[in-house]
C-alpha cells in the first residue's frame, strides 16, 4: 500500500539490503540514513550550522521534552521546529513513548499518566495528544504513541503491550490531520518472533506512511533482537520506509541494513562523545586513557574528515581530563561525521553489490571476537 506523503524509490538492492531515495514534501532523503538526536531541539553541544556542515539529512526531536519545555504551542507560534531551530532539513519527532516508560507511568486505555521530569506535576499523554503535539511541532515525520514493555517481561505483558499499541495506532491515525506530515506506525512484540510478525501485519493493515520497529534496542542480546527484527521486516511493505528505533552501534547498523532497514537514530554517538569516546575504524577509542597522552595522530587515521583529522589524540585527551567542553563538541562532530560516512559507505556497497565485504569489515573492527563465529 503506497502513500501520497512519501515516495520511496529503491535505487539498488544487495540481498535484503537496500539503498533508497525517500521523497517528501520537503525534499529527499537517501538511505541508509542515521538520524542524530536533538532531544530538546538541538543535538547536545552542536548548533544548526554544525548539522548543515555535516550534511545531516534528517534530525530527530523528542515530543515529550518539547511538549514540556518550551511547549508545543509556543514552538508552533514561532514557526514549528523548522522555524524555531532555523533548520531547513527534515525532522522526525518520536511520540514520547520511550521517555515516558522510563518514568514508571500509570498506563490505561486512555493513555499514560506520569510525573514531569521538570516540575513533578502530573502529565497525561494520550495517543491523540501525542498526535496534536507533533502536528504543532510541524515535524516532517511523526510517530504514533506506542507501549514499550520493560525487559524482561512475560509473554502476556508483551502481548498486552503489543495489542494496546495497535489500538493506540488506530486512534493515532484517526487523530492525524496534518497533510504535510507523514505518520509512521510502530511494530512491537518484544523478542517474540510470532508476536513481531503479527504486530507488523496488523500495523500495516491500519496503514501508515512508513513503519518503525520499536522496543528492540533496549538491552536484549543481538541474538534475540535480530530474529525479531527479521520477522517484522518480512511483513512490511517494500515500497515504504523502514525505521529501527534507538539503534546506533556500528555492528547493529550494518546488521539492520543487511536485513532491510532504511533509517535509524540513537543518542549513543553523541553520549559517547561527551564522555570521551570516539567511534573509529579501530573500534571504540576512550581518549581519556593515558596511552593517548603523547599520541600526535588523528582520531581515526582511516577517516579523513576536517574535524577528525585536525586535532591530535593527545590534544583531545588534554581537553577531556581538564574538563574543557570543547572536547565533547569536537568528538560529537567526529562521531556524527563518522557514522554519516559509514551509512554513505553502506549505500555505495549496496549499489556496487559488495555489502557483505563491508559488513564483514565492520564486524572485524568492532567485535573481532565474534566476527568469525557469525554467519558472515
CA 206 vs. chain centroid, Å, equals: 23
Cα 37 from Cα 99, distance rounded (Å) = 13
DSSP 76: H
- Phi, psi (rounded to 5 degrees) for 283: 90, -160
Q: Cα-Cα-Cα-Cα dihedral of 341, 347, 348, 351, to 10°?
A: 180
CA distances from 308 to 73, 86, 270, 299, 358 (A): 39, 26, 15, 6, 21
146 among known catalytic residues: no
CA 147 vs. chain centroid, Å, equals: 17
119 among known catalytic residues: no
From the list 14, 94, 140, 262, the catalytic residue is 94
Cα 192 from Cα 186, distance rounded (Å) = 15
Instruction: Identify any residues that bridge with 277 across adjacent strands, giving them in sequence order.
Output: 286
CA 198 vs. chain centroid, Å, equals: 23
- CB-CB contact of 327 with 319 (8 Å): yes
From the list 249, 262, 265, 300, the catalytic residue is 265
Label residues 274-299 b or e (16+ Cβ within 10 Å = b): bebbbbbbeeebebeeeebeebeebb
Residues catalogued as catalytic: 94, 265
Amino acid at each position: 500500500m503506497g502513500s501520497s506523503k512519501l515516495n520511496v524509490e529503491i535505487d539498488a538492492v544487495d540481498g535484503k539490503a537496500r539503498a533508497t531515495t525517500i521523497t517528501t514534501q520537503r525534499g529527499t532523503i537517501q538511505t541508509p540514513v542515521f538520524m542524530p538526536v536533538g532531544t530538546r531541539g538541538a543535538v547536545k553541544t552542536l548548533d544548526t550550522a554544525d548539522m548543515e556542515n555535516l550534511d545531516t539529512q534528517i534530525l530527530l526531536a523528542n515530543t515529550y521534552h518539547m511538549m514540556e519545555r518550551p511547549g508545543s504551542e509556543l514552538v508552533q507560534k514561532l514557526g514549528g521546529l523548522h522555524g524555531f531551530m532555523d533548520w531547513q532539513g527534515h525532522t522526525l519527532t518520536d511520540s514520547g513513548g520511550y521517555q515516558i516508560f522510563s518514568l514508571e507511568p500509570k498506563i490505561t486505555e486512555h493513555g499514560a499518566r506520569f510525573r514531569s521530569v521538570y516540575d513533578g506535576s502530573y502529565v497525561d499523554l494520550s495517543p491523540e495528544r501525542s498526535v496534536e503535539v507533533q502536528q504543532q511541532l510541524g515535524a516532517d515525520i511523526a510517530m504514533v504513541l506506542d507501549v514499550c514493555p520493560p525487559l524482561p517481561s512475560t509473554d502476556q505483558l508483551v502481548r498486552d503491550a503489543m495489542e494496546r499499541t495497535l489500538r493506540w495506532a488506530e486512534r493515532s491515525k484517526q487523530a492525524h490531520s496534518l497533510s504535510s506530515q507523514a505518520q509512521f506506525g510502530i511494530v512491537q512484540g518484544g523478542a517474540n518472533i510470532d508476536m513481531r510478525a503479527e504486530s507488523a501485519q496488523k500495523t500495516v493493515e491500519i496503514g501508515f506512511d512508513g513503519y518503525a520497529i520499536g522496543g528492540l534496542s533496549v538491552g536484549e542480546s543481538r541474538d534475540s533482537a535480530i530474529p525479531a527484527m527479521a520477522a517484522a521486516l518480512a511483513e512490511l511493505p517494500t515500497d515504504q520506509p523502514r525505521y529501527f528505533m534507538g539503534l546506533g552501534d556500528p555492528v547493529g547498523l550494518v546488521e539492520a541494513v543487511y536485513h532491510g532497514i532504511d533509517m535509524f537514530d540513537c543518542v549513543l554517538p553523541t553520549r559517547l562523545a561527551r564522555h570521551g569516546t570516539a567511534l573509529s575504524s579501530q573500534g571504540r577509542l576512550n581518549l581519556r586513557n593515558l596511552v593517548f597522552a603523547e599520541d600526535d595522530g588523528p582520531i581515526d587515521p582511516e577517516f579523513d574528515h576536517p574535524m577528525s583529522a585536525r586535532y591530535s589524540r593527545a590534544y583531545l585527551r588534554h581537553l577531556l581530563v581538564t574538563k574543557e567542553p570543547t572536547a565533547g563538541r569536537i568528538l560529537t562532530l567526529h562521531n556524527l561525521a563518522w557514522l554519516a560516512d559509514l551509512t554513505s559507505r553502506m549505500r555505495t556497497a549496496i549499489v556496487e553489490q559488495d555489502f557483505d565485504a563491508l559488513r564483514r569489515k565492520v564486524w572485524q573492527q568492532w567485535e573481532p571476537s565474534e566476527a568469525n563465529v557469525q554467519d558472515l
